[in-house]
Structure 1
């Protein structure tokens, strides 16, 4: 049996994609990712990036090519992607594009349990979220305008309209949610104004032994990484 292909994190994918362009050292990778606003889609920290490069080297997906020193700066090791790294990158990209993974973001957790907060608190908090998202939307528009003005090929910034579409969808849904909650169309928990304790109400309608049915999850092809 062949050796199992290593599962690449989001940051590892970004590192290999950079090295597919040309060899570079980790500090250059970090700065380039920041200039390209990759921190919008990847959790980017210098320590995590250096750790990721070291791990990729251990897995022989990249290899050290040389050490440079400029003035009094620390030595910087330049890395190059290997043939195995290129294969791993392409396989991981294909897998991510093919399968919609459950990524478990935090906001749906808070939204599903928001009924534990008084209505006025929820209204205020979600309105703050909307304001933050509107600023994020404006930032995405600025970046897209810059790319168009500088005639950057769309394949290099196609993620920006995707992020804008998902952000716009969330904003649209939240606006409707706020309208329903504010006008009373959406019934909400009631709380004692003195103690903050929730007043007695009906039990949760979904009993533990009778969950709503879900369609079966399609199986992945043989050999696909989890």
Structure 2
């Protein structure tokens, strides 16, 4: 069994303390971890059910508040803690070939006339500027709250890799505009 990213995130939350999936979902959003793991309430509930079926988490209780649906609280098992550590180690030590859409678009950008490509690159870089500002603000706020640096590694990496991507794109735009980069002739 290979833990998917959402399963890893759920186990990591339960390593902190027992909680129910809705609380886990809210915490992921509050910590902005939805930037690193695709999370939806339904998918998180299913991930926790799979973890329970695999005996990586256990039910510690159920509660009901008013008219709300019953909430089941889960805790990490020793088997779950071991699986979490093994998967995180695997992810940190073994590069995985990913297939990002932007890289694919770059490989096909030659199909656009240079001025259209520059316009698209500029729009993309502008979006990255906004993302960089937002990520920087989130990290600054977390540091101001006293968050330990080890908890901010993912966000810090995301900020630096996004900044590097934006800088590379802005350099490419300049190279195209100054004719330092030879663009294929416009297709007829």
State whether structure 2 residue 113 is matched by structure 1 residue 118.
Answer: yes
* Structure 1 match to 2:27: 32
State whether structure 2 residue 86 is matched by structure 1 residue 52.
Answer: no
State the shift of 1:178 in Å.
0.3
SS of residue paired to 2:74: strand
* Structure 1 match to 2:89: 94
State whether structure 2 residue 20 is matched by structure 1 residue 17.
Answer: no
Instruction: List runs of 5+ in structure 1 lacking aligned partners.
Output: 1-5, 192-197, 200-226
> Aligned partners of 2:89 and 2:184: how far apart in 1?
45
* Structure 2 match to 1:104: 99
Correspondence 1:1-226 to 2 at 5 A:
6-191=1-186, 198-199=187-188
> Aligned partners of 1:80 and 1:28: how far apart in 2?
13
State the shift of 1:183 in Å.
2.0
- CA deviation vs aligned residue, 1:7-37 (integer Å, no higher than 9, x gap): 0111110000011111111000000110011
> Aligned partners of 1:145 and 1:178: how far apart in 2?
30
RCO comparison, higher one (Cα < 8 Å, 6+): 2
> Aligned partners of 2:164 and 2:148: how far apart in 1?
26
SS of residue paired to 2:157: helix
> Aligned partners of 1:140 and 1:45: how far apart in 2?
21
> Aligned partners of 2:117 and 2:37: how far apart in 1?
29
Cα RMSD for the two superposed structures: 1.1
Residue-pair matches, total: 188
> Aligned partners of 1:82 and 1:149: how far apart in 2?
33
SS of residue paired to 2:62: strand
With normalisation by structure 1, the TM-score equals: 0.80
* Structure 2 match to 1:208: none
State the shift of 1:184 in Å.
2.2
Runs of 4+ in 1 over 4 A off after TM superposition: none
